[in-house]
Structure 1
Amino acid sequence: MRSHRLRLAALAAAPLLLLSACSGDGAGTDNASQSTGADDAAATSIAPNGSVSELSVDDSGKTPTILWDGKPMADGDLPFSVASTETETVKKGDGEEIAAGDEVEVRYLAVNGTTGEQLLSTFDADETVTLDLSNELLFPAFLDELPGGKVGESLLMGIPAADAFGTNGNEQLGVGPQDTLVFYVEVVDAHAPLTKAEGKAVTPKDKDLPKVEADGESAATITIPEGVDAPTKLVSQVLIKGEGPEVKAGQTIKVNYTGVKWSDGEGFDDSYQRGEPAEFPIGLGKVIKGWDEGLVGQTVGSRVLLVVPPKDAYADQPDHELKEETLVFVVDILGAY
């Protein structure tokens, strides 16, 4: 069972720990420090002191324990380090084959090889994380090793600093500039990424809502009802109910959307003209309140009609051209990570 009560901090850190270029606040590094060449490896990795082939997993408890020569890593001859990325299959999978570009749902445990300390475990909250294998910022180990495998497999990975966060390390996550990262990964599911909403159509009960025509491949046509006052409270109406997991505060969501003004029905923004879905954190105040409140709790695969009054949009931004407008959006939720 998936828990939807995972702590916000863990939700934020779980995908962050798998990205090699999380910069902007000093916690990550820039692309220049992500080179996996010999010079960078020499600068960021200590001498190898172990091999992933020496590791095993005790999965008898709620959270697995990574063992080194039969003992918990913290009790081993630390630091554990590898010169280059190493992967060992713990268990072969018997499900669907994973393709490059798939979205892969995993459970994982991450340990700092220098200290032996657990960095993060999705097992603690009985939670999973979705890896988007089209995201080039993922650690190369995941991009290279997961495709070709099968759902149900389990892996051990040792990733040196040069193939992870580089010379900066990641202070936010407790990773130093020379630390090898050790992962135990269980592949739960894999599928091609959604390109449009998929699920069961829902007929709105409120007849005074805007009418929507949408194929998910181009901007939606949104018709504002004549002679109807704009709602004064946020409306979040599901048009297609997706079968994916619920969107949780703290995740990054991937969406295609169309936005028009209630006042005249004119479009002011859509993701389709940019040629790719938009991605942004949800539930953290990084987007307008109407999006945070209207999309958290919806399911991946859904198409959602949002009618957002000014107080939940741009009323608090006196210089914004849409500050007095009620905004209408049609949003296809394609992923949540």
Structure 2
Amino acid sequence: MRSPKFRLLGLAVAPLIFLSACGDDTSTDDASQSSAPGDDAAATSLAPNGTADDVTLTEADVDGTTVPALELGKTPLAVGETSIQEIEAGEGEPATAEQDVELKYLAVNGTTGEEILTTFPTDETVSMSLANPNLLPGFLNSLEGTKPGQSFIIAMSPEDAFGTQGNMQLGIGPNDTVVFYVEVVGATTPLTQAEGEEVEPVEGLPTVEADGTSPATVTIPEGEDPPTELVVQPLIKGEGEEIQAGQQVRMQYTGVQWSDGEQFDTSLQEGRDAFETVIGQGQVIQGWDEGLVGQTVGSRVLLVIPPELAYGDAQEGGPGAELKDETLVFVVDILKAQ
């Protein structure tokens, strides 16, 4: 089982508004702590007094752009059970539990009536993996079966949102109902392993046996000194988009030590999901940031990372300290970037 100290490889960065506070990749940051600061209403239990039908979809002007807005029929609005008000039905194939749903959204705190986040002014979309157990239960229970073009208002109970911990970073208290307006753009089936053209192995580098479903077997070349500079070698060249710095990337990976070939970490374990993080912005070790930007979705990439680009600066007793002097070898399958 992977040691928690190796979580420093990155942070789960699905938008915080979609992540449950009990998700293990978010439990260490302040966004998953108890209540909104200075919000007395959030500290007091609210008796249920409404449903999603008490919310009206309206419009607002943001810098000359007309965007959706929500008007609460009562403030505070508290729901005992999550409820949905259908706006548009949508058409096409319904999303399945294995797919990623792309959507636009607006979120409002039901207790205060204040807007939390919205994607509409910039016309951005976000992608939510229905296979991610760390998504808010209210979304896990409502997005499966949705269709492109479908829109709805969901009044999410505290239990189905952030529960007793709330979300301080978003100003959501432990008893706050969260109200969303959602427009479904579509759904896609993500890659589960690398797909593309195999690349001829390079002599002198570690050899790799990988099936994409279990940890890769990495053999360190006997008698070879570790490289002193970062090595980035595609093993499979994917046909997807090229990764840009700042994108959220989904991956499966295995990591071993050059010194003895011992595996110290892998995402390909029973009960674990594919790993997601932002690349190119310091949320992972430098060798990942430098090595994965510019690679393509669908690729399987061999990274050989010298200590100074890995955990060479780790403090004794801190995260990564056991790997401080190690050259690390990773086999990474790039499954998605957004």
The alignment's TM-score, normalised by the length of structure 2, stands at 0.73
Aligned to 1:294, the other structure's residue is in SS state: helix
Residues 179 and 263 of structure 1, relative CA distance in 2, 3 Å threshold: closer
Does the Cα contact within 8 Å between 1:45 and 1:162 map onto a contact in 2? no
Does the Cα contact within 8 Å between 1:247 and 1:300 map onto a contact in 2? no
Tell me how far apart the structure 1 counterparts of residues 46 and 298 of structure 2 sit (CA, whole Å).
Answer: 42
Aligned equivalent of 1:191, options 168, 188, 191: 188
The equivalent residue for 1:260 is 256
Aligned equivalent of 2:149, options 152, 156, 161: 152
The equivalent residue for 2:68 is 65
The equivalent residue for 2:275 is 279
Does the Cα contact within 8 Å between 1:112 and 1:118 map onto a contact in 2? yes
Identify which range, 209-218 or 172-181, moves more after superposition: 209-218
The equivalent residue for 2:95 is 98
Does 2:201 align with 1:220?
no
Q: How many corresponding residue pairs?
A: 308
Identify which range, 305-314 or 134-143, moves more after superposition: 134-143
Q: CA deviation at 1:17?
A: 1.0
Tell me how far apart the structure 2 counterparts of residues 228 and 96 of structure 1 sit (CA, whole Å).
Answer: 53
Residues 247 and 17 of structure 1, relative CA distance in 2, 3 Å threshold: farther
Gaps of 5+ in 2: 1-10, 36-43
Q: Which amino acid aligns with 1:21?
A: A
The equivalent residue for 2:324 is 323
Q: CA deviation at 1:308?
A: 0.4
Tell me how far apart the structure 2 counterparts of residues 216 and 91 of structure 1 sit (CA, whole Å).
Answer: 39
Does the Cα contact within 8 Å between 1:44 and 1:161 map onto a contact in 2? no
Residues 140 and 235 of structure 1, relative CA distance in 2, 3 Å threshold: same
Q: CA deviation at 1:334?
A: 3.4
Q: CA deviation at 1:99?
A: 1.3
Tell me how far apart the structure 1 counterparts of residues 54 and 133 of structure 2 sit (CA, whole Å).
Answer: 27
Does 2:15 align with 1:15?
yes
Tell me how far apart the structure 1 counterparts of residues 88 and 213 of structure 2 sit (CA, whole Å).
Answer: 39
Does the Cα contact within 8 Å between 2:21 and 2:166 map onto a contact in 1? no
Q: Which amino acid aligns with 1:272?
A: L
Aligned to 1:17, the other structure's residue is in SS state: helix
Q: Which amino acid aligns with 2:32?
A: G
Gaps of 5+ in 1: 1-10, 34-42
Q: CA deviation at 1:314?
A: 2.5
Aligned equivalent of 1:312, options 294, 309, 312: 309
Does the Cα contact within 8 Å between 1:44 and 1:167 map onto a contact in 2? no
Residues 248 and 95 of structure 1, relative CA distance in 2, 3 Å threshold: farther
The equivalent residue for 2:5 is none
Q: Which amino acid aligns with 1:332?
A: D
Tell me how far apart the structure 1 counterparts of residues 286 and 310 of structure 2 sit (CA, whole Å).
Answer: 6
Q: CA deviation at 1:273?
A: 5.1
